[in-house]
Amino acid sequence: MKRKSKFKKIDVRKFVPRASGKDSPPGTVQYVGKPRSEETRIDVIEFNETEVAEYKIDKPDQLKKYIASDKIKWIRVSGVHDIELMAKLGDLFHINQLELEDIANTSQRPRMEERDSYIFMVFKALIINQEDQDVAIEQVSLILGENYVLSFHETEPKLFDSLGTRILTGKGRVRKMKSDYLAFAIADIMIDQYFVVLEDIGTTIESIESELIINPGSADQETIYRIKRRLVYVGRTIWPVRELINEIERSDHKLIHEESRMYFRNIYDHTVQIIESLDSLRDLTSSMMDLYLSSVSLKLNEIMKVLTIFSALFIPLTFLAGVYGMNFSYLPEKDWHYGYALFWTICIGATIFMLFYFRRKKWL
């Protein structure tokens, strides 16, 4: 039975960086990404060690009263396609136009930029769709300020709901730490998701490994090929993230406090571990392709072996049938009463002898 591949075609556009426009000057904010029509949403979680509150913002101007507060604020912007709203947020938080351009361009490479009053970071989140097991990649941009983290998401960030719950319920260290720890917690969720994606790939490899030996088919070849492309997908994402985390951990910016460096160092170690796992899965996938080709070749050889044995068995029979099928007037055994029986006796005896010989040579 042909096994249906569970992987969809990967969006190759995510691999290719795209500019805002050929004739646009640097700093021109233009949305680059999948067409979206949903309304951009802004949510705020404001907290300190003893208090916490959650708000939904209708207009960017409503954020002014929260900016003045000394509490830590996590401002989540779901949707970066509303350029007018992005411009208002840029004016409100004094974000450089180049950073706004990168936020709106969802094909940006993960990177970090330090400014006097904030640190700008671009991450890539890998999200597994539970329905079809397809992997989507979304850009998450962070603005780390003195008492706030401003996060920009392409879609509604359900991946980070667990972090919002931890803040609201007071679990963990988030409410006891400063804004740089909140940025770490957001990055930690995305990096942990890389482990989930690699685990899913590993499970898929294990599920088809035994089938490759027993019954290799075209569906297995397609699955292996898609796994290799997905590994490239993860590799193109995790390598720049590793560099980004390393820059944050080594930064001497005033917004990166000493008590938070150990946490960034921890997720840096996670990125190293992911890269090592990625290399191992690449080797396994290459071995699986070799195994697939070897299994197909072995199966073909077995078929050719059977056909060759059948051909070899019929060679002497064809010879005898050809000799006694000649149209000569005189054949010594032609008029003999037991000639037909002798012919079949010789044919059967020759066949049995050849089968015995092949078995003794271990060709059967």
pLDDT in tens, 237-273: 888 999 999 999 899 999 999 989 999 999 999 999 9
Q: How far apart are CA 355 and CA 364, in angstroms?
A: 8
Q: Kindly tell me if the per-residue pLDDT of 4 is higher than 50.
A: no
Q: Kindly tell me if the per-residue pLDDT of 336 is higher than 90.
A: no
DSSP element (H, E) containing 315: helix 258-323
The amino acid at 77: V
Q: Kindly tell me if the per-residue pLDDT of 300 is higher than 90.
A: no
What six digits make up the tokens of 136?
Answer: 């989507």
Q: Kindly tell me if the per-residue pLDDT of 2 is higher than 50.
A: no
Q: Kindly tell me if the per-residue pLDDT of 161 is higher than 50.
A: yes
Look at residues 134, 135, 142, 88 and name the one whose alpha carbon lies nearest to residue 115: 142
CA dihedral over 293, 299, 302, 303, signed as positive or negative: negative
What pLDDT, on a 0 to 100 scale, did the predictor assign at position 53? 92
Q: Kindly tell me if the per-residue pLDDT of 277 is higher than 70.
A: yes
Residue range(s) of every CATH 3.30.460.20 domain in the chain: 12-294
CATH class, 12-294 region: alpha beta
User: Where residue 294 falls among pLDDT bands split at 50, 70, 90?
Assistant: confident
Residue range(s) of every CATH 1.20.58.340 domain in the chain: 298-360
What six digits make up the tokens of 187?
Answer: 């990055």
Q: What mean pLDDT, rounded, does the chain reach?
A: 83
What six digits make up the tokens of 217?
Answer: 């088919």
Q: Kindly tell me if the per-residue pLDDT of 3 is higher than 50.
A: no
| Mean pLDDT (whole number) for 54-72 | 87
What's the predicted TM-score (pTM) here?
0.76
The per-residue pLDDT for range 8-38, each reduced to its tens digit, is: 555 555 555 555 555 566 667 888 888 888 8
pLDDT: is 313 or 254 the higher one?
Answer: 254
Tell me which CATH code domain 298-360 carries: 1.20.58.340
What pLDDT, on a 0 to 100 scale, did the predictor assign at position 23? 58
Task: List CB contacts of 12: < 8 A, sequence separation 6 or more.
Answer: none
